[in-house]
Amino acid sequence: MRAPHLRHLVMAVVVGVVGVAGTTAAYGQTPAAPPPSPEPIGPRLGVQGLGFVGLDFPRAEQSVEALGLDKRQLEAGGGVRVTNLWRALFVDVHASRWSTSGERAFVDSTGEAFPLGIPLDIDATHVDVSVGWRFYPRNRRTIRTAVPYVAGGAGVVRYREESPFAEPGDDVRTSSTTYHVALGFDYPLNRWLAIATDARYRFAPDIVGDDGVSSVFEEDDLGGFQLSVGVRFGFGGAAPATPPPPAAPDEPARRPDFINPAPPPVDAQIGTVTTDAPIYLLPDRTRVPLRVLESGTSVRVLDQIEGWYRVEFRDPQFGTRTGYVEIKFVRR
């Protein structure tokens, strides 16, 4: 890798680390929280699809300007992510494409560009393969809590450049290896759908720079920042270890104290589920749990009975409910 690339890689990594640090600070008040254990109630393997639109900011800015190309390329793309391969580790494939038009030009040694009025069409298709880590927040009060991630990897870009009046060998169709670092977060809307944001910096060192306007400006990297927002859908992540029960005849919603819940005891306190934990109607772990509380879920502790807390929690299906959860799963 040439020196400028190394410099930019270091810069991008620093940016990424700082960004992740900031994100972690925002979503987790205690640093270095241990990830949830995968079994028996930890995150399960998941598969997510992704569709997005974004903006690509190619690094070859002077070349782009000289050729009358847009400095920001609108793009569309999609991808697939396999989550929780090991703890919060994920792998994803991310594809995007942008295309733009300008006009050919000549650039003299002073850098002055002379547009020639000959159309120039360019498109680039990126496919990135990343390995990354998701940071599940610890103090997650609701499913609607952003999950940040960082990732890095390699990929390939297919590049096409065409103009009229070409003779054999004039137009360009090539592909090359790329490298990238990325960070972003998913904001779940429900269990199956999330808004996905992503910022990545890509290095595409072998496409431009040897000829063309890019060689005049000594711009040898077609990569750059890519910002995107989209929708992630599918299953996975912190999925329940056991299915939620069917509407039970002893559904608390039918109980008078749920319909008109009594105010909690004065000494009631907020607790946080430290790892995904089953919650039962009665303090009996042989029963089918009402629900599995995800790590980071906040509960209101109402009472304590021999290794169990009676807690009030928010059931996404039935609203506020009470149940029993083992003390070892709750930090107060």
Binding residues among 16-75 for another protein as defined by CB under 8 A: 60, 63-64, 67, 69
Q: Which helix (H) or strand (E) holds 61?
A: helix 61-66
DSSP letter (8 states) at residue 280: B
For another protein (CB under 8 A), the number of binding residues is: 39
Q: Which residues contact 199 (CB under 8 A, 6 or more apart)?
A: 19, 182, 183, 184, 225, 226, 227, 228
Tokens linked to 202: 């890509």
Closest CB to another protein among 48 and 214?
214
Regarding 214 and contact with another protein (CB under 8 A), the answer is yes
Closest CB to another protein among 58 and 188?
58
In angstroms, what is the minimal distance from the CB of 64 to another protein?
8
Binding residues among 113-172 for another protein as defined by CB under 8 A: 114-118, 120, 122, 159, 161, 163, 165-167, 170-172
Tokens linked to 314: 């928010």
- In angstroms, the CA 153 to CA 176 distance is 14
Regarding 173 and contact with another protein (CB under 8 A), the answer is no
Binding segment (CB under 8 A) for another protein, from list 112-120, 178-186, 276-284, 303-311:
112-120
In angstroms, what is the minimal distance from the CB of 168 to another protein?
12
Chain centroid to CA 232: how far? Answer: 9
Among 59, 81, 104, 291, binds another protein (CB under 8 A): 104
Regarding 299 and contact with another protein (CB under 8 A), the answer is no
Q: Which residues contact 142 (CB under 8 A, 6 or more apart)?
A: 314
Closest CB to another protein among 69 and 299?
69
User: Among candidates 171, 128, 135, which has minimal Cα distance to 152?
Assistant: 128
**β-strands 269-273, 224-237: how paired?**
unpaired
- In angstroms, the CA 195 to CA 189 distance is 7
In angstroms, what is the minimal distance from the CB of 176 to another protein?
11
Tell me which residues touch another protein (CB under 8 A): 60, 63-64, 67, 69, 104-110, 112, 114-118, 120, 122, 159, 161, 163, 165-167, 170-172, 207-214, 216, 222
